Amino acid sequence: MKDEIRKQMKAMRRALSPEEMAQSAMLVTEEIIKTDAYACAKTICLYLSAYKEVDTSALLARCKQDKKTVLLPVTAKNGTITLYKDNGKYKKGNFNITEPDSAETADAKTVDLFIIPALAFDKSGNRLGFGMGCYDRLLKNANGYKIGIGYAFQLIDSLPSDVHDIKMDMVLCK
């Protein structure tokens, strides 16, 4: 069932127009910056968008404007995520994803707010990624507030979940 949902969500993301993507990114960014979790956060982990994920560039700019420390994930080929401090320099990395060109790493335990992508979320906060468990391992021992973001169609009623799956504290799909 998970593979069927992944396939469907990937196809729906590929079909999005640039205008739909921009509208969703704007709405998601507006909602995030209204949250108490954002207002209180000193350190935020967010991702650099790839494969038609919700674009986080406006949120990244806002974080910098608000003097937040931003950490960006780099995923190794084995699925391990390492967080790097954003220094404004980027390069293409594994999986052809833009990643920070930084040597300064940080522990996930220092993050106050995580902004997490997925292929799908459900109304209980469950998340369906690409199936490698990368974010589940990253978030396992982290204490920060977790906001999952996506497009409106990515929020479904129910997802199958396993004991190792980490739930989101909030889901914003616009």
Q: How many domains does the chain have?
A: 1
Give 34-47 pLDDT, tens digit per residue. Answer: 999 999 999 999 99
pLDDT of 96: 87
φ/ψ region of 108 (left if φ > 0, alpha if ψ in -120 to 50, else beta) reads alpha
Range of the domain at 22: 2-173
- Could you list the pLDDT tens digit for every one of the 174 residues in the chain? 999 999 999 999 999 999 999 999 999 999 999 999 999 999 999 999 999 999 999 999 999 999 999 999 999 999 999 999 999 999 999 888 999 999 999 999 999 999 999 999 999 999 999 988 999 999 999 999 999 999 999 999 999 999 999 999 999 999
**Cβ 75 vs Cβ 94: under 8 Å:** yes
- What's the token pair of residue 90? 């980027």
Q: What angle do CA 171, 19, 147 make, to 5 degrees?
A: 15
Which CATH number covers residue 56? 3.40.50.10420
For 145, the 3-state DSSP assignment is: strand
